[in-house]
Amino acid sequence: MASLAKLVGERIRQIRKAQKMSQEGLGELANLQSSYIGGVERGERNVSIETLEKIIKALNMSYSEFFRFGEIGTSSKLSKEELIEVFSGELLTRDISDVKEIFEIYNIIKKGK
């Protein structure tokens, strides 16, 4: 099972980079040290709810936008277990028809190997 701290950290990094923001810039906006931001992004620091709220506000996002972990799946830094966790979480949010389509695609890929 993927560590929530690692998933949250990866999500922060993904959003920060998409916004072309440095760790220093995010730290300044959130009133946090850039070294702390780095530790959070690497999943090495446990972030409090209050601190996470500061980071999300500094990223100018809604809470629901931030917690869309399915968007992390493109990261090459996640382990197999973390990618499975993200993918299964994404599947749980889909309609049964979408899940069936994805399963059919999986079967086509599996047959091709």
Here the CATH number for the domain that contains residue 84 is 1.10.260.40
Domain span at residue 99 reads 4-112
* Cα 104 from Cα 38, distance rounded (Å): 40
What count of Cα atoms within 13 Å lies in the side-chain half-sphere of residue 62? Answer: 3
More confident residue, 87 or 13: 13
Task: Please tell me the total count of domains within the chain.
Answer: 1
pLDDT tens, 7-37? Answer: 889 889 988 988 999 999 999 999 999 999 9
pLDDT tens, 50-61? Answer: 999 999 999 999
* Cα 25 from Cα 58, distance rounded (Å): 9
User: Does the global pTM surpass 0.75?
Assistant: no
* Cα 98 from Cα 86, distance rounded (Å): 16
Residues 6+ apart with CB under 8 A from 77: 10
Tell me if residue 95 falls in helix, strand or coil: coil
